């Protein structure tokens, strides 16, 4: 994957807010510190799709985090609708039938499909409770290999798995990591977390950050601090490659 040159493009701000007016206010407060926004169920089901279209029209990138999983025909046509919006990323769950249908639905567009391996709020105990016979690491690796073979554009994974997944999927697939917490931030309901610098160093391409930005007293400053951290690590990596 060609990593975006501008570190701002590698930060995806999760607009986990209850209304479009809240989202509009947050985007205005963040201003130029971020260019990429994630919209999930909370905002998406509260009028967030027209808002997403407005962001795209304004030159922003949009990640629709809907984690789709359904029969193939439904996935194919739903993904095609998202592709027509002009969104950059869309998530589906990493089940083979779902991923195949999503790839077909996005064909011919610029929409990039991301497969969700194992939610970052899950640990080994949670998987056991859900009836899985694999622990987090092996299950993530298995789903990553399936996604690679099917032609998925990228993976959503914990930053803890990023380095290992590079060995599975190579450099062509994007790794998008939630569970990012700047030093000193509360973990919240995330169980597999990492700082921005460590996640980038581990091989993450994009960092998804929500509460540490949207709940900050100064959201623009919080976003800019993460972008600066990404830029610093990226510069160090470029120097090491020279």
Residues with a known catalytic role:
67
CB atoms closer than 10 angstroms to residue 241: 6
CA-CA distance, 184 to 112, in Å (whole number)?
Answer: 33
CB atoms closer than 10 angstroms to residue 145: 13
Contact 150, 100 (CB under 8 A): yes
Quick check: helix, strand or coil at residue 5? Answer: coil
Select from 27, 80, 73 the least CA-distant residue to 223.
27
Contact 177, 149 (CB under 8 A): no
- 230 beta partners: none
- 39 beta partners: 64
CA-CA distance, 110 to 107, in Å (whole number)?
Answer: 8
CA-CA distance, 118 to 13, in Å (whole number)?
Answer: 20
Select from 196, 173, 185, 37 the least CA-distant residue to 115.
173
DSSP letter string, 57-96: HTT-EEEEEEEE-S-HHHHHHHHHHHHHHT-SEEEEE--H
Quick check: helix, strand or coil at residue 104? Answer: helix
């Amino acid at each position: 994957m060609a990593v975006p040159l501008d570190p701002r493009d590698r930060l995806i701000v999760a607009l986990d807010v209850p209304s479009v007016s809240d989202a509009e206010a947050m985007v205005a407060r963040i201003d130029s510190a971020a260019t990429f926004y994630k919209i999930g169920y909370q905002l998406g089901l509260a009028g967030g799709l027209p808002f997403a279209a407005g962001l795209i029209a304004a030159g922003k990138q949009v990640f629709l985090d809907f984690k789709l999983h359904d029969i193939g025909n439904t996935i194919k046509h739903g993904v095609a609708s998202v592709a027509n919006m002009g969104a950059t990323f869309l998530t589906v769950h990493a089940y083979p039938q779902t991923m195949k249908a999503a790839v077909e639905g996005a064909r011919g567009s610029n929409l990039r499909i991301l497969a969700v391996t194992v939610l970052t709020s899950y640990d080994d105990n949670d998987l056991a409770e859900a009836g899985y016979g694999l622990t987090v690491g092996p299950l993530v690796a298995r789903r990553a290999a399936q996604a690679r073979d099917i032609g998925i554009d990228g993976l959503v994974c914990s930053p803890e798995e990023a380095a290992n997944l590079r060995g599975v999927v190579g450099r062509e697939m994007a790794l998008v990591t939630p569970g990012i917490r700047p030093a000193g931030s509360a973990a919240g309901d995330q169980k597999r977390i990492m700082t921005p610098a460590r996640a980038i160093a581990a091989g993450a391409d994009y960092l998804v950050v929500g509460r540490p930005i949207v709940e900050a007293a100064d959201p623009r400053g919080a976003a800019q601090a993460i972008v600066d951290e990404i830029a610093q690590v990226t510069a160090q990596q470029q120097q090491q490659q020279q």
